Amino acid sequence: MITKRKRSSDTSADDTGPIKKRRNNNTQPKFYAVRKGRVPGVYSTWTDCQGQIVGYKGAVFKSFPSLSDAQAFVEGHNPQSYPPKNETPKFYAVARGLQTGIFTDWDETSAAIKGSVKPRYKKFPTRAEAVDFIREFGSPEALKAIENEPLVDAVDPKVTIRNRSAEVDEAYKDFVHVYTDGSSRGNGRVGAAAGVGVFFGYNDPKNVSERLAGEPQTNQRAELTAILFALQRVPHNQKILIITDSQYSIKCATVWAAGWKRKNWMTAGGEEVKNQDLVKSIIHEISLREQAGGLTSFKWVKGHSDSPGNQAADRLAVNGSNMPKVAC
């Protein structure tokens, strides 16, 4: 060990199952910082680092090109890690594994998937592509980890995304503004209870606070249902701005749906698209609005931020999750 702690990007490691070794031609020195492991500190070799993280549940580690950055990471800071000069950046997206997230180093990636049953991961030249991969194939934990990643505007000009503050600018002054949110107690587990929240304004009769119908009772289905309810409550000839903290839902409606439709609602991995019933209904509502001369826009706001509208929608969703189960 060098002096302080070891390496990670955010990874939980377990020593089972073979991992393909990749040739590393990089001659630049690396410092492996282990924030959480058997003996936290900074290590000069990957082998030494592995000894502290493999089999250690919840290990947190990351590699850095400088000792000072590695030491800072061990102490709880998060210095930005950059690829060595003249090296093409690589982003490894781990959608399913012992540790999920986006990594910039293969050693970190291998530790994140080693021992995992059917891990799902892929290398990309840009971080944005890695984020999209996780949003399409990621586990609930993986999606949670990237929920604050920025979005780019959708290609379709009729369905736009805006990643700005909660304040609505002049461009949307003639739109109906509605906040949507979903909540799921025990998300992803047996017995989960999800709720739907739609907020048009205080004491507005169009507001929604109810238990999610059907199964599974997931946060993603609750978020999508909230958007669908919002679209259904505004006449199609009107412009609507849906403000949500669910980047997954926005991507479903504005980016992924077109590709899924071309592939008969199958993913690149040959699996049926999850929640396609809700996504199809949302796309249908957007199409009806367009035909009637209206417009559908989306705006992302950070969850649990200082946005009163988002907070109100969240309260409505949480309240809905506490309601009795809906009989189908």
Three-state SS string across the chain, please?
CCCCCECCCCCCCCCCCCCCCCCCCCCCCCEEEEEECCCCEEECCHHHHHHHHCCCCCCEEEEECCHHHHHHHHCCCCCCCCCCCCCCCCEEEEEECCCCEEECCHHHHHHHHCCCCCCEEEEECCHHHHHHHHHHHCCHHHHHHCCCCCCCCCCCCCEEEEECCCCCCHHHCCCEEEEEEEEEECCCCCCCEEEEEEECCCCCCCCEEEECCCCCCCHHHHHHHHHHHHHHCCCCCCEEEEEECCHHHHHHHHHHHHHHHHCCCECCCCCECCCHHHHHHHHHHHHHHHHCCCEEEEEECCCCCCCHHHHHHHHHHHHHHCCCCCCC
d(CA 162, CA 150): 10
What gap in Å lies between CA 17 and CA 113, rounded to an integer? 9
Q: Check residues 269 and 319 and name the one with the higher pLDDT.
A: 319
CATH number corresponding to 31-145: 3.40.970.10
Average pLDDT over residues 23-34: 67
CB 42 within 8 A of CB 6: yes
Query: The domain 159-321 belongs to what CATH superfamily?
Result: Ribonuclease H-like superfamily/Ribonuclease H (3.30.420.10)
| CA-based nearest residue to 313, from 250, 240, 222 | 222
> In the predicted model, is pLDDT for residue 150 greater than 60?
no
For residue 101, list its beta bridge partners: 94
Q: Which two tokens stand for residue 120?
A: 């799902």
> Does 59 or 299 have the greater pLDDT score?
299
User: 12-16, 36-40, 285-289 — which is least confidently predicted?
Assistant: 12-16
| pTM given for the model | 0.53
**Residue ranges of the domains in the chain?**
31-145, 159-321
pLDDT tops 60 at residue 19 = no
Measured CA to CA, the distance from residue 69 to residue 193 in angstroms comes to 43
pLDDT in tens, 263-277: 999 987 788 999 999
Output Rg (C-alpha) for the chain, integer angstroms.
22
> What pLDDT, on the 0 to 100 scale, is given for residue 125?
81
In this model, does residue 126 exceed pLDDT 70? Answer: yes
Who contacts 40 (Cβ-Cβ below 8 Å, separation ≥6)?
4, 5, 6, 34, 52, 74
The pLDDT assigned to 3 comes to: 45
* Percentage of the chain lying above the pLDDT 70 cut: 78
Q: Is the peptide bond before 216 cis (omega within 30 degrees of 0)?
A: yes
